[in-house]
């Protein structure tokens, strides 16, 4: 019985002192590079963004990364590392976000200042204290590997993989034999560890008289596995033969810097010679066309059909990713609208209560109250305002379970039933204020 009394007294003191605690909480911000020595152009550099407080928990963290002239700055994921330290005998809690910077030119780069917002609480049921800090500009030095092109994007990674394929497959020796109207596709796949896909340089534009080039939209796919980033980029170009003759698709050269062995590596795609012959569908028919040597109507029709099919195929390949993205964006917006509604938030309360998880239920209830027009309010505060003694008792039992770290004596179904009853009453969260009360209440 004594531990239960102490817990109740502690909760009462927290509730009474919540407003004062919010006013006396302190916050702090740190922003620094993981190392101070210069890095190679294109090399990954970790930046640590840390928020600190002498409070109990954090919420409402937000920041927008600035553009860095001469480099790429990104946040690979939303995971954080929990920190703690002593300051003047007081315990401070911290959260660390790991940002990644990729310099793309030699010299001094500066990460501009940006705002960081967060809130902290002194304990369960206390008022949150809000903080807004602005980082100091962060300077980074980078150096260009010897022999590298200073004007292009450079991939710096000890783990670089490169793949190239032709469809149809190019011959081992000699030219490739095609016909007018035939299509040839080049696919280049590049993968590297420790870099995002955006640092891979795009393929050059191909200008070949007699051969049309149709590049697809590049596929960039970054993956994060246990904090390790790997970048992937796939480029495709389709070449269509427009007339007879001998042509050459120029070769390509790709460079990357291995920072471990400090070696500038090079991979090349050899030039491809093409011999384009006449296509029967495009052949001239003297007997059908007359003395002027023009194409027969049948050959012209086949040529038009072939060109339309080729162009339609290329158009579909270009538009398919956009259509899929639009469908995915529509589904995402629909999901966001659904999850922003009060009924959805209340269903999460029901699921958490039925699962018998006090911490999950407390978070779901706060989210539901925020969706109901009471952002920042706790269940205990709302129960006190409602005058429902049963609901207030259930809220206290929830707080006791949170403080004890035990769900043994907590009854989630009972709490949900009381919440559902309050939700149906006029003026309560979750009810439209324009709804009319029953004409003949029971």
pLDDT (tens digit per residue) in 337-380: 777 788 888 888 898 888 888 888 888 888 888 878 776 667 87
**pLDDT attached to residue 175:** 92
Band (422; pLDDT cuts 50, 70, 90): confident
Higher model confidence: residue 122 or residue 241? 241
Q: Taking the model in full, what pTM does it have? A: 0.54
Band (37; pLDDT cuts 50, 70, 90): very high
Band (406; pLDDT cuts 50, 70, 90): low
Q: Assess contact for 318 and 216: CB atoms under 8 A.
A: yes
Backbone φ and ψ for 264, nearest 5 degrees, come out as: -90, 110
Band (403; pLDDT cuts 50, 70, 90): low
With a cut of 50, say whether residue 440 has pLDDT above it.
Answer: no
- Residue 41: other Cβ atoms inside 10 A: 25
CATH 3.20.20 assigned to 21-143: no
Q: What is the mean pLDDT of residues 407-424?
A: 83
Q: Are strands 252-258 and 245-249 parallel, antiparallel or unpaired?
A: unpaired
What is the rounded distance in angstroms from the CA atom of residue 215 to the CA atom of residue 238? 6
**pLDDT attached to residue 298:** 67
Domain 151-278 belongs to what topology? Immunoglobulin-like (2.60.40)
Q: For residue range 16-28, what is the model confidence (pLDDT) as tens digits?
A: 444 445 558 899 9
**Ramachandran area for residue 125 (φ above 0: left; ψ -120 to 50: alpha; else beta):** left
Coil, strand or helix at 134: strand
What is the rounded distance in angstroms from the CA atom of residue 5 to the CA atom of residue 371? 34
What is the rounded distance in angstroms from the CA atom of residue 440 to the CA atom of residue 262? 84
Using CA atoms, how far residue 97 sits from 63, 75, 229, in Å, is 11, 8, 15
When mean pLDDT is compared across 91-100, 150-159, 168-177, the lowest value belongs to 150-159
Coil, strand or helix at 74: strand
What is the rounded distance in angstroms from the CA atom of residue 194 to the CA atom of residue 101? 11
Residue with tokens 């305002």: 385
Q: What is the mean pLDDT of residues 237-254?
A: 92
With a cut of 70, say whether residue 155 has pLDDT above it.
Answer: yes
With a cut of 60, say whether residue 381 has pLDDT above it.
Answer: yes
With a cut of 80, say whether residue 73 has pLDDT above it.
Answer: yes
């Amino acid at each position: 019985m004594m531990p239960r009394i102490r817990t109740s007294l502690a909760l009462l003191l927290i509730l009474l002192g919540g407003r004062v605690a919010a006013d006396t909480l302190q916050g702090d911000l740190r922003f620094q590079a993981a190392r101070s020595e210069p890095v190679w152009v294109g090399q990954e550099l970790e930046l640590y963004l840390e928020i600190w407080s002498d409070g109990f928990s954090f919420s409402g963290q937000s920041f927008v990364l600035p553009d860095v002239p001469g480099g790429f700055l990104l946040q690979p994921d939303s995971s954080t590392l929990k920190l703690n330290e002593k300051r003047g005998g007081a315990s401070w809690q911290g959260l660390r976000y790991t940002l990644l910077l990729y310099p793309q030119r030699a010299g001094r780069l500066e990460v501009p200042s940006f705002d960081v917002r967060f809130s902290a609480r002194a304990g369960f049921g206390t008022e949150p204290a809000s903080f807004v800090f602005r980082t100091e500009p962060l300077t980074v030095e980078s150096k260009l590997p010897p022999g590298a092109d200073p004007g292009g994007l450079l991939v710096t990674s000890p783990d670089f993989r490169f793949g190239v394929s032709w469809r149809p497959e190019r011959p081992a020796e000699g030219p490739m034999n095609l016909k007018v109207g035939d299509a040839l596709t080049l696919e280049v796949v590049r993968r590297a560890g420790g870099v995002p896909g955006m640092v891979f340089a795009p393929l050059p534009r191909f200008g070949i008289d007699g051969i049309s080039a149709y590049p697809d939209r590049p596929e960039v796919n970054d993956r994060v596995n246990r904090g390790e980033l790997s970048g992937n980029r796939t480029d495709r170009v389709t070449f269509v033969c427009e007339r007879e003759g001998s042509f050459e698709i120029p070769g390509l050269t790709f460079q990357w810097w291995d920072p471990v062995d400090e070696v500038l590596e090079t991979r090349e795609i050899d030039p491809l010679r093409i011999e384009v012959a006449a296509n029967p569908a495009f052949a001239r028919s003297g007997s059908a066309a007359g003395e002027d040597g023009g194409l027969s109507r049948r050959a012209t029709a086949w040529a038009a059909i072939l060109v339309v099919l080729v162009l339609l195929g290329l158009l579909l390949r270009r538009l398919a990713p956009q259509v899929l993205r639009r469908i995915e964006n529509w589904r995402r917006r629909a999901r966001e609208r659904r999850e922003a509604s009060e009924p959805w938030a209340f269903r999460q309360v029901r699921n958490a209560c039925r699962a018998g998880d006090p911490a999950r239920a407390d978070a779901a209830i706060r989210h539901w109250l925020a969706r109901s027009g009471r952002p920042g309010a706790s269940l205990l505060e709302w129960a006190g305002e409602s005058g429902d003694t049963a609901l207030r008792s259930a809220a206290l039992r929830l707080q006791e379970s949170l403080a004890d770290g035990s769900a043994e004596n907590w009854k989630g179904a009972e709490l949900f039933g009381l919440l559902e009853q309050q939700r149906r009453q006029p003026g309560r969260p979750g009810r439209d204020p324009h709804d009319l009360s029953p004409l003949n209440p029971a």
